[in-house]
Amino acid sequence: MKRFALPVLVSCLLSVAGALALHGQLVSAQDHPDPLRPSATPDAGALSAEEQTRRAVVITRVGEVSITVGEVEDAINAQSPFLRARYREPAKRLEFVDNMIRFELLAREAQKRHYDRNPEVVRTVKQNAVQALIRKEFDERITVETIPQADVDAYFAEHQAEFNRAEMRRASHILVATREEADRIAREVAEADVRAFRDLAREHSLDVETKLRGGDLRYFTRERQPDPATTPSQDAEVDQTIVTAAFALREVGDTSPPVQVGDKWSVIKLTGLRPAETRTVADAGPSIRMRLWRERRQSSLDDFVRDLRVRLHPEQHPERVDPIRLDALPAGAGMEGFPAGGEGGDAHGHEKAAPRAPDAVHGGAAPTPAPTPAH
Q: Please provide the size of the chain in residues.
A: 375
Residues 6 or more apart whose CB falls under 8 angstroms from that of 300 comprise: 138, 142
Confidence band (pLDDT; 50, 70, 90) for 200?
very high
Contact indicator for 181, 284 with CB cutoff of 8 Å = no
**Beta-bridge partner residues of 60:** 67
Taking all residues of the chain, what is their mean pLDDT, rounded to a whole number? 80
pLDDT in tens, 251-267: 999 999 999 999 999 99
pLDDT given for residue 53 in this prediction: 93
Write the pLDDT tens digit of every residue in 271-298.
999 999 889 999 999 999 999 999 999 9
Percent of the residues in the chain that have a pLDDT greater than 90, as a whole number = 61
Helix axes 90-112, 5-23, angle to 10 degrees: 140
Closest CA to 41 of 50, 33, 52, 57: 52
pLDDT at 270: 95
> What is residue 289's predicted lDDT score, i.e. its pLDDT?
96
pLDDT digits (tens, 9 = 90+) for 160-189: 888 888 899 999 999 999 999 999 999 998
pLDDT confidence of residue 334: 56
Residue 144: pLDDT over 50:
yes
Lowest mean pLDDT among 34-38, 154-158, 212-216: 34-38
E strands in the chain? 58-62, 65-68, 164-165, 168-176, 216-220, 259-261, 264-274, 277-278
Q: Distance between CA 8 and CA 109 in Å, rounded? A: 12
Give the chain's domains with CATH numbers: 12-141 (no CATH), 167-275 (3.10.50.40)
pTM flag (> 0.85): no
Which pLDDT value is given to residue 277? 86
Residue 12 φ/ψ region, left for φ over 0, alpha for ψ in the -120 to 50 degree band, beta for the rest? alpha
Phi, psi of 137, rounded to the nearest 5 degrees? -85, -20
User: H or E element: which one contains 292?
Assistant: helix 281-312
Q: Is the pLDDT of residue 339 over 70?
A: no
Would you say residue 361 has pLDDT above 50?
Answer: no
Comparing CA positions, the residue from 272, 254, 273, 261 lying closest to residue 189 is: 254
